[in-house]
């Protein structure tokens, strides 16, 4: 008998929990089962087992009442409240509590009962239940009897389901994208596509072609693309020239050259495979070694400006100082020397026109 109790308890622990639902079913039911009475050792009574029969009524979604009768070498009658964690037409754990009485067991004994179990449903009307119940006596020193049980329940009537809540549709969302018309900056998006907070289709790589139409979804930022969102491949040479001049003995960049340098940065973003070598130059005044260092500083200043102001990767830029060795004008005049104090660069790349 103790082995049976252990098996039932293990089943209760291992039985899977089921999810709650909105089904509701009330009404009468009947049950046929089997009980194993394991009497407390303080009483010299042999354990017994026999069939039991019960009638019950499910009063709400989860609560029911039942009266159970067992006839063995004695009779046992019990009235209990039963609480099912899920609606009765779904598999569920349950607990029960009530009062009962033995008859013809030496003398009649009354008790309180408490128990728990698991009920597995086969459709709307039929279920299998098993569990363990404790019977605490009012007499005989408060003896505690354990009663494992198993049974089959049959519920009368069909289970009813609550009507599903109607789908809420925003009345002012004409294209049904989840963004109200008053906030929708793209009011005619295709039904079912993902949109951003403004109601516009997503463009993950920011190339101007929405994800739904983009056949090249990971285009580098700023690259020129075709109508399919793919990088344009050309078949011609393109180039851009940089020319920045400096004051005498200075590597400070004048704000006047911001737009000139920006054109180079934009070109490099449009053609991400390009790299540039920035050359620094000086006029002929001063020591040659000093002019070499100054020309290097000028080249590095422009390189840092492109990286910090326009976000071009530094790995794509290199700087070299040419000193006074490559003049473009006569160092004998002030105008010529001003032209020689410069940073220059030319970017060329071979590209292909769209197919």
Of 105, 136, 161, the residue that ends a domain is 161
Residues 14 and 115 in one domain: yes
Residues 16 and 151 in one domain: yes
Residue in this structure with the two tokens 């934009």, named with its chain if needed: 266
Residues 10 and 142 in one domain: yes
Residues 139 and 16 in one domain: yes
335 part of a folded domain: yes
- What is residue 168's predicted lDDT score, i.e. its pLDDT? 54
221-237 in b/e form (b: 16+ CB < 10 A) is ebbbbeeebbbeeeeee
- What is residue 19's predicted lDDT score, i.e. its pLDDT? 36
| Crossing angle (nearest 10°) for helices 288-310 and 258-270 | 60
Token output for 250: 């200075």
Residues 10 and 151 in one domain: yes
| Bridge partners, residue 81, by sequence | 65, 97
> Of the candidates 115, 154, 153, 112, which has an alpha carbon nearest to the alpha carbon of residue 131?
115
* CATH number of the domain where residue 120 is located: 2.40.160.20
Residues 342 and 251 in one domain: yes
- What is residue 66's predicted lDDT score, i.e. its pLDDT? 94
Of 161, 180, 202, the residue that ends a domain is 161
Residues 44 and 139 in one domain: yes
> Of the candidates 118, 117, 119, 99, which has an alpha carbon nearest to the alpha carbon of residue 109?
99
> Of the candidates 132, 122, 109, 133, which has an alpha carbon nearest to the alpha carbon of residue 43?
109
Residues 339 and 256 in one domain: yes
| Rounded CA separation 181/171 (Å) | 9
37 part of a folded domain: yes
> Of the candidates 318, 291, 293, 322, which has an alpha carbon nearest to the alpha carbon of residue 304?
318
200 part of a folded domain: no
Of 161, 186, 210, the residue that ends a domain is 161
Residues 246 and 140 in one domain: no
Element (H, E) at 334: helix 334-340
Residue 223 phi, psi (nearest 5): -70, 145
Contact status, residue 56 vs residue 68, Cβ threshold 8 Å: no
54 part of a folded domain: yes
Tally of residues, the chain: 355
- What is residue 302's predicted lDDT score, i.e. its pLDDT? 93
* CATH number of the domain where residue 335 is located: 3.30.1330.60
Residues 245 and 144 in one domain: no
* β-strands 317-321, 276-280 pairing: parallel
> Of the candidates 81, 75, 43, which has an alpha carbon nearest to the alpha carbon of residue 62?
81
71 part of a folded domain: yes
Domain span holding position 264 = 236-351
- What is residue 171's predicted lDDT score, i.e. its pLDDT? 62
Residues 157 and 301 in one domain: no
Q: Put residue 206 in one of left, alpha, beta given phi > 0 → left and psi -120 to 50 → alpha.
A: left
What is the pTM for the complete model shown? 0.40
As for how many domains the chain has, the answer is 2
123 part of a folded domain: yes
308 part of a folded domain: yes
Q: What is the pLDDT along the chain (355 residues), one digit of tens a residue?
A: 444 444 444 444 444 433 333 444 678 989 999 988 888 888 777 888 888 899 999 888 889 999 999 887 778 889 999 999 888 778 889 999 999 988 876 556 888 999 999 999 887 788 899 999 998 888 777 888 899 999 998 888 665 544 444 545 546 877 888 888 888 888 888 888 888 888 888 888 888 888 888 888 888 887 888 888 887 765 566 778 888 999 998 999 999 999 999 999 998 898 888 888 999 999 999 999 999 999 999 999 999 999 999 999 999 999 999 999 989 999 999 999 999 999 998 888 776 654 4
- What is residue 273's predicted lDDT score, i.e. its pLDDT? 84
Residues 242 and 141 in one domain: no
Contact status, residue 264 vs residue 275, Cβ threshold 8 Å: no
185 part of a folded domain: no
């Amino acid at each position: 008998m103790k082995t049976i109790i252990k098996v039932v308890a293990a089943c209760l622990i291992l039985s899977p929990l089921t999810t709650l639902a909105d089904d509701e079913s009330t009404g009468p039911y009947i049950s046929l089962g089997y009980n194993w009475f394991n009497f407390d050792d303080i009483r010299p009574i042999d354990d017994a087992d026999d069939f039991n029969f019960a009638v019950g009524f499910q009063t709400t979604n989860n609560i029911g009442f039942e009266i159970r009768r067992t006839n063995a070498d004695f009779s046992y009658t019990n009235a209990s409240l039963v609480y099912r964690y899920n609606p009765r037409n779904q598999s569920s754990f349950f607990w029960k509590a009530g009062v009962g009485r033995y008859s013809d067991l030496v003398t009649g004994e009354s008790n309180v009962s408490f128990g728990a179990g698991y009920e597995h449903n086969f459709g709307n009307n039929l279920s299998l239940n098993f569990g363990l119940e404790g019977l605490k006596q009012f007499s005989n020193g408060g003896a505690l009897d354990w009663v494992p049980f198993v049974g089959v329940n049959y519920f009368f009537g069909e289970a009813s389901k609550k009507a599903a809540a109607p789908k809420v549709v925003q009345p002012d969302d004409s294209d049904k994208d989840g963004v109200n018309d008053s906030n929708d900056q793209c009011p005619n998006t295709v039904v079912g596509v993902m949109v951003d907070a403004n109601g516009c289709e997503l463009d993950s790589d920011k190339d101007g072609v929405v994800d739904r139409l983009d056949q090249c979804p990971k285009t580098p930022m700023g690259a020129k693309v075709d109508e399919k969102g793919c990088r344009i491949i050309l078949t011609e040479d393109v180039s851009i020239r940089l020319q920045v001049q400096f004051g005498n003995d200075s590597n400070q960049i004048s704000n006047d050259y911001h737009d000139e340098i920006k054109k180079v940065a934009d070109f490099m973003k449009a053609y991400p495979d390009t790299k540039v070598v920035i050359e620094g130059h000086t006029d002929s005044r001063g020591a040659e070694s000093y002019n070499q260092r100054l020309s290097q500083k000028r080249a590095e200043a422009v390189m840092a400006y492109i990286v910090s102001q326009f976000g071009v990767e530094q790995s794509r830029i290199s700087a070299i100082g040419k000193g006074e060795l490559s003049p473009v004008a006569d160092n004998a005049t002030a105008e010529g020397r001003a032209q020689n104090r410069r940073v220059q660069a030319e970017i060329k790349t071979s590209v292909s026109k769209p197919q």
